[in-house]
Structure 1
Amino acid sequence: MTTPDPAPAPAAPAVHAPVPPLSLPDAFTAHARRRPDATALLWHDHAVTYRELAHLTQRERRRLNALDLAPGEPVALHATKSPQAIALVLACLTERRPFLLPSPQLAPALLAALHTQAGARHLLTPAGQNPPALPTTTHPGVPTLAAGTSFMLTTSGSTDLPKIVPLAQSAVDRFTTWAHDTFDLGPGRVVANYAPLNFDLCLLDVWATLAAGGTVLLLDPAHALSARHLLTQLTRHRPHVLQAVPLCYALLTQAAAQSGARAPGTATVLDSVEHAAFTGDAIDARTLAALPALLPAARLYNIYGCTETNDSFLHELDALDATAALPVPIGTPLPGVRTLLAAPDGTPVTGPGSGELYVSTPFQAAGYLDRSRDAGRFTTQPDGAGEGRRWFRTGDLAVRDDQGRLHLTGRADFQVKVRGVAVNTAEVERVLLAHPEVREAAVAAESDPLTGKRLHAAVHRTPGSALNTLTLREHLAANLPRAAVPERLAIHDTPLPKTPTGKVDRKAVLAGAGPDTTRPAL
């Protein structure tokens, strides 16, 4: 009798090699040497290998070295997303040259003011892109930058001149390591990048991916509002990771539904996506409910962070979250992140309760480039919070539940008085977004000598909706105090205007305020 061979042992699960203990630019260079033919970037239908991207980077390094730059002197980049723009940033990183990376969509006067503040005498554009025409300014000199400064991002500037946020390369490297470990970035993995290059989301989508040796699918900002283009790119290139603002997911669900309408029973699904994160703004109920069908294999996340601190909280959704009441929790702090809620008197709230959110992360800036603007934002010691830690006061109001999860409830600076009644405009936006035919919403307040403040609202309704201002007013009146119902409503069939960082531009809402209207475009 022959003894049967033992059953083969089950194959061990594939494990990606850990991120080498290298800084981002050194890690990229190492991948280009070891795996030169691997794909680094996907741009429309063109693949750029690590070898090709390294060659583009080397060309930009030579251009940098030809400038009369003092040690530590920053340069300004005017970089619309493209492989050439990626190479220009990599050249600055490789040369350890600090660089200002503002939104190319800012007004010329704002860009010139930011260049002056950063002390950037030289403005560089990627190969093939024309530099903007900026007003002539004087440069008072190079500001004192902390050693190791790399990225200098900017805030949205929704109320005044954007603030410059210098990030140390060590902070960026700590973040890229967290991103690799959390979303399994690395060789053979494709990560879709929707955000513009100046947005801090790119630290995960682009820079953490290249540091880990993965492939970045660059979605062209010129087609950022084309639902069909976005869906085509994602179905063609099959990314494993997708992080984007809620608008991107709304567009994808719209395109998928339309594909099903053209061919009943065959609605497009993105079954390659394993991790899908939304961030940067509140997601509407309709889009959230559609995500499990659109992304059947994906783990869904809500990510919270600020430009000043980078990502701070992560919440993984379960099946119930997709149908639960909004807003989605921001979850619990990332490893190494400290957080506290401060009561109105400045003392920490322990256990369940509400207050203003403070965070301290391993990835944050030490302060703004203009330290005079730190006041009220960066602080070393909220009352009772302990010594030796630098906190960032987010301005967000939050509630901590019994499980320790945080839920945003509004903004401290969104609290206004209307006819003597305290109103939080973020809560009005939340109620607007709860309507099943509202895709985006924005509420702004303007001064009024009689009522204190007057509220104006604008919404982007879902395609094919017949929603009108009367119906929307009835919805608001059923869910809000009378003083919180906006005086004027505007309903649009196109997305609401955005700030350079991709958030709804409330200033534009106020500027376009007029009588109640239902119109096809803003």
Structure 2
Amino acid sequence: MSALTGFRISPQQARAWRAAQSGTTSGAASRLLIDVAPAPSAADIEARLHALAQREEILSTTLHAMPGMALPIQVIEEQPRVSFAAEDWRGDETARRDALINSTSGSDSVLSVRYARVGQERWLLCLEGAPNALDLASLDLIAAELLGAAAPERLQYVDYAEWKNGLLEDESAGQAARFWQQTQAENAPLELHALQTASGGKPCEAALHRLSGLPSRADLETLAARAGANLDEWLFAAWCVLMARLSGQQRIQLGWQDDGRGEGLEQALGLFEQRLPVHIEVDLQTALTPQIANLLAPLRQAIGWRDHYNSEQNCPLYFAWRELHLPKELGTPTAVTGLPSPLALGLECHASDDGKLELHLAYDRTRFDATAIACLEEQWACLLQGLGASEPALGAIPLFGPRQEHGLQTSSVHADVRDASVLTLIEERARINPDAPALVDANGMTRYGELMTQVDALAQRLRAEGIQTGDVLGILMQRGRQAVVAMLAALRAGAAYVPLDPAYPAERLSYMIDNSAVRLLLTTEGQQAGIDTTVATLPIETVHAAANANETPLPEVTGEQTAYLIYTSGSSGQPKGVPISHAALSRSTQVRMAFYPDPVQAYLLLSSLSFDSSVAGIYWTLCQGGLLVLPASGEELDLEVLAGLIERHRVSHSLSLPSLYETLLDYCNASTLAHLRTWIVAGEACTPRVLAKHRNKAAQAQLVNEYGPTEATVWATADVLSAATPDDSMISIGRPIPGMLLCLLNEHGQPAAIGEPGEIHLGGPTLTSGYLGQAEQSASAFVHYPHVAAGQRLYRTGDLARRHVDGRLDFLGRRDQQIKIRGHRVERGEIERVLQSHSEVREAVVIAQIHEGSTRLIAYFTDRHGYVPEAQALSSYLHDRLPSYMVPAAFVHLSALPHTPNGKLDLNALPDPDHLVAASAAYMAPRNDMEVALTEICQQVLKRERIGIQDNFFQIGGDSILSLQIVSRANQQGIRLSAKQIFESETIERMAQVATRGTAEDNAPAVCAVTPEDSKAPRTAADFPLADLDDEAFGDLLAELNSTD
């Protein structure tokens, strides 16, 4: 057997070979179809082909993989690898042509030639080149020669490959190497997630879509000349603008499909094309012409160093300008394909010397479907039209056309909404089944009949206390049955209520009471201690049903009346009140009942009553006659208690943060969750990991991701996460709920195109009337745009999202300083103002730090008088004035806050707090088995390589949800530790001192002893706070209860 004589392959061949081996190649060979008339004979074409094959070594070349070598070698075979066929397509031209264009290469030839007769005097010359041997420019040169053009002298491809490899090995080309090294260091491939139907990973299915409805070549050349650029450069710049708009990134990486043919290579045959990565900075606030020189500078640099390019950077989004120089008298190109790898999406521009220009979208059908390509076609046409009209700011050019109009429509889901208040709906349930359990907490259960008796009695007492229609009542109570009775009684008395969390600082509660003009505080005994207010209080324990029954008729509420107020964080330094009407509350609740197919049987309420998600659980449950399960304050962070409640009460529905649900899934077994039908996650980003765990533990239930601000009455969008949701995708927030108008507007007030980031604007009947007593903030947040949604009133949420082609939305974050912490909206400015009110703090800035999906607040501050207060002192100061979720986890002292050259605060220059904490705290290793076990658990949960036993859990990234993960993992190792103990201990050293060894069964906590199934369960005195009993009768009953075994 004779030895092979081989040569090194070129870098272009190496890239094509690796792509083919990995299965990521587009699978589409370069093809060129040419109409020929008058036509040479088939014999002449075949003779010229064989003559060409004898001269050009590339047409006899094969690639051979050699043992021990990473790359194959190219071998010039004795016989050319070309094929020729003369065919007759008359009567079947269109079908045969389309089949050829859309097929993948199945030929073993380097060059395949078909010469097809399509008419009496018309022939079609079809050329196809192997993906690792011939590019489109080579086919153009071959076609000219086959049709009779003179054969020029050419450089053989193996000589080019050797020259190219030598150039790349030349150590003197340092400047070129540094240029491409720097480019590679910035590697950040562009993605158009919202336009993609899948994220890739499947074998590529290349397709080409010809664009129509575009300006003529002459018009485009006029625009390019106005900008001082060549047409190919101008189109590349415009394509960059579209990619920047759709990606939401102003610095983008795009591929330039370069022909690779420098001086002396114009006539050579082979594979010279290569995709050069280009990093472009697009200023969307400026017109194109003023910035085009800066925009094109990186492209021109890349082309200047193209001979030294030898990287395999992944640029699946690209631009290609292909010029065909076939003399007009020889033939007319009618179809061109040459789809390079890697391929996701590209703009292919095919130009010919006769002035013809065709634009195509090349795309991978496994990533983009026909709807997405239609949207892109419309957006490209809109952009070109906008660039031709004037010199607008690039971000102000409308990209939104008729094909995307459905993006402004309300939900297609229908919901019948009655003109009835939530009180009416609950009363109907009480009449239908008065003995059904309604509320259950640690102290007992209340049935629907009893509930309405207690509500009416308390409402009568409120009217007797002088409460009038439209007054505001403060409800200062922990989560429990009494608080729910108080809420409903406030509504029944014609008043509105504002929930006041007893855990809030007294100063904040006093402000909320004064700001909302509370007329009366409903409390439990001793709850109001420490609050500076002159408002009268009414302990609910003092109200008895018998003393307040049937005194006066209670008022009928109207839809316009305020039902409740919820306070959210305010940028002015104080929280702002959001009033919600009865009509909005009822509609939001009824839409929820229509949207979710399974009626609530038992709902586990985990939200604080001062958080608006509690509104969803309370009224949804009671309006459907379900059981509202109310854990005591603090128990929402006790996994054992929650698991016991879920199993004991056969919980069917609940709502929580995704992180809390994930921790609960880790803790519970499938049997505990057997009765679950719907779990809603909201308040923070849901991860694919949560969905995967849900499928594993509670596949029978639907997992729904909701989004909505307080101003829109709890919710605005929802997405039922199905088994078809990709595990590696961003979890969508879904589509608008019935009756909700949702518009995405860019920063220029234009409707955002499909895939383009925009600010969520909400409209519809569930919007609040505005912020209580804050006309200026209301005017800023609630707006009218004459050109959007027919001028309807819209709420600017400040939240950014992008819309998929199917209407689903991805949440992208905030456009302002607002932060979401464990589901709570937090204005940085409010924390900063309170911190700056400290006597020793001069300046302060608060940021949100995201580590491994968990968000914590970091405060940076400068001192006022040279004295630096301790972090614990600052934390205590804020705890006295702000809710705990608004208190930063770490405080970092700086001599001065960093600023940019123009004087603005430079957030990017703030030091990493973790490095400062590590530098200031000496590491102490674990000393015993318990400390070792807890250290390993904390390192796993916080995803840190090393944690000392004296490091503060909350200062190094811990929070309430992560503490639950600590509890869950400790329990799995037989370590008894509660979330409360973690909060009190803060360090591993102190956690180890309170933790105990044992099993979950050894120390299972007591849960409510009352079951909804048992209608004759024993009662305690706490079951009858509003019962129709005098003191003597109540004493007799209590004695009987206490004597019962």
Instruction: Tell me whether 1:91 sits opposite 2:489 in the alignment.
Output: yes
Matched, 1:189 2:621: no
2:722 aligned partner = 318
Structure-2 residue corresponding to 1:9: none
**What's the C-alpha RMSD, in Å, of the aligned pairs?**
3.6
Q: Equivalent residue of 2:457, what SS?
A: helix
Which amino acid in 1 is paired with 2:956? Answer: A
Q: 1:130 aligns with which of 527, 530, 538?
A: 527
Q: Secondary structure at the match of 1:254?
A: helix
Q: Is the 8 A contact 2:577 2:771 kept in 1?
A: yes
How far 1:432 moved relative to its partner? 2.1
Q: Residues 154-208 of structure 1, C-alpha deviation per residue, up to 9 Å, x if partnerless?
A: 114587321111111011110111111122465x722221112222112221112
> Does the alignment pair 1:400 with 2:820?
no
> Is 2:586 the counterpart of 1:173?
yes
Amino acid across the alignment from 2:641? H
Query: 1:198-209 residue pairs with structure 2 within 5 A?
Result: 198-209=610-621
Q: Would the aligned equivalents of 1:469 and 1:491 in 2 still touch at CA under 8 Å?
A: no
TM superposition shift of 1:70: 4.2
> Retained in 2: the 8 A contact 1:301–1:315?
yes
Equivalent of residue 792 in structure 2, options 365, 383, 389: 389
State the one-letter code of the partner of 2:615.
Answer: L
Q: Which residue of 2 aligns with 1:252?
A: 664
Partner of 2:460: 62
Q: Using the TM superposition, name which of 82-91 and 59-68 deviates more.
A: 59-68
Q: Does 1:441 align with 2:855?
A: yes
User: What SS is found at the alignment partner of 2:619?
Assistant: helix
Cα gap change, 1:493/1:176 in structure 2, threshold over 3 Å: closer, same or farther? closer
Within the candidate set 612, 622, 626, 1:214 is matched to 626
Q: Is the 8 A contact 2:438 2:622 kept in 1?
A: yes
Q: Which has the higher helix share?
A: 2
Cα 1:40/1:489, change in 2 over 3 Å: closer
Shift of 1:492: 3.1
Match for residue 506 of structure 1? none
Q: How far, CA to CA, are the matches of 1:329 and 1:100 in structure 2?
A: 32
**CA 373–471 in structure 1, closer or farther in 2 if over 3 Å, else same:** farther
Is 1:80 aligned to residue 478 of structure 2?
Answer: yes
Contact kept, 8 Å, 2:560 with 2:583, in 1: the verdict is no
Q: Which amino acid aligns with 1:182?
A: F
Note the 1:470-489 alignment, pairs <5 A.
471=945
Q: Contact conserved, 2:456 with 2:492, CA < 8 A, in 1?
A: no
Question: For residues 72-97 of structure 1, what are the alpha-carbon distances to aligned partners after superposition, in whole Å with 9 as ceiling and x for unaligned?
Answer: 22121112111111111110111221
**Is the 2:784–2:792 Cα contact (8 Å) retained in structure 1?**
yes
Tell me how far 1:449 sits from its aligned partner: 2.4
Q: Which residue of 1 aligns with 2:732?
A: 329
Contact 1:304 1:311 in 2 (8 A): yes
Deviations 1:213-244 (A, max 9, x none): 22212232321111111111101111222222
What pairs up with 1:280-429 in 2 under 5 angstroms?
280-309=683-712, 310-321=714-725, 323-326=727-730, 328-375=731-778, 377-382=780-785, 384-414=787-817, 429=850
Output the CA distance in 1 between the equivalents of 2:706 and 2:913: 26
Q: What is the percent sequence identity of the aligned residues?
A: 25
For the 8 Å contact 1:185–1:214, the answer to whether it is kept is no
Partner residue of 2:576 out of 133, 147, 163: 163
TM-score by length of 1: 0.75
Q: Deviations over 1:372-406 (max 9, x none)?
A: 35347532314631444221111112122222221
Instruction: Give the conservation status (yes or no) of the 8 Å contact 1:269–1:296.
Output: no
Deviation at 1:59, TM superposition (A): 2.9
TM alignment of 1:15-164, pairs within 5 A: 22-44=420-442, 46-126=444-524, 130-136=527-533, 147-156=560-569, 160-164=573-577
Aligned-partner residue type, residue 679 of structure 2: A
CA distance in 2, matches of 1:519, 1:384: 62
Higher CA-based Rg: 2
Contact 2:781 2:797 in 1 (8 A): no
* Unmatched segments (≥5 aa) in structure 1: 1-17, 140-144, 260-266, 417-423, 434-439, 473-487, 499-516
- Whether 2:855 is the aligned partner of 1:432: answer no
The residue type paired with residue 134 of structure 1 is I
* One-letter amino acid of the structure 1 residue matched with residue 856 of structure 2: A
Q: Are 1:469 and 1:490, in contact at CA under 8 Å, matched by a contact in 2?
A: no
Give the aligned partner of residue 266 of structure 2.
Answer: none
State the alpha-carbon separation in 2 of the partners of residues 462 and 393 from structure 1.
45
Kept in 1, the 8 Å contact 2:761–2:794? The answer is yes
In 2, Cα distance between equivalents of 1:20 and 1:492: 46
Describe the superposition over 1:471-522 as per-residue Cα deviations: whole angstroms up to 9, x where unpaired. Answer: 59xxxxxxxxxxxxxxx98243854699xxxxxxxxxxxxxxxxxx99988x
TM-score of the pair, normalised by structure 2: 0.39
Instruction: Describe the shift of the 1:455–1:246 C-alpha distance in structure 2 as closer, same or farther (beyond 3 A).
Output: farther
Does the CA-based 8 Å contact 1:306-1:394 persist in structure 2? yes
1:490 corresponding residue in structure 2: 956
2:638 to 212, 226, 247: 226
Gaps of 5+ in 2: 1-415, 537-557, 820-845, 862-896, 901-905, 915-934, 947-953, 965-986, 992-1045
How far off is 1:365 after superposition?
0.6
Structure 2 SS opposite 1:492 = coil
Instruction: Check the 8 A contact 2:559/2:582 in 1, yes or no.
Output: no
Q: Is the 8 A contact 1:270 1:296 kept in 2?
A: no
Tell me the CA shift for residue 55 of structure 1: 2.5
In the TM superposition, what whole-angstrom CA distance separates every residue of 1:450-472 from its partner, at most 9, and x where no partner exists? 572226678xx994644677659
Contact conserved, 2:643 with 2:672, CA < 8 A, in 1?
Answer: no
* 8 A Cα contact 2:518 2:535, kept in partner: no
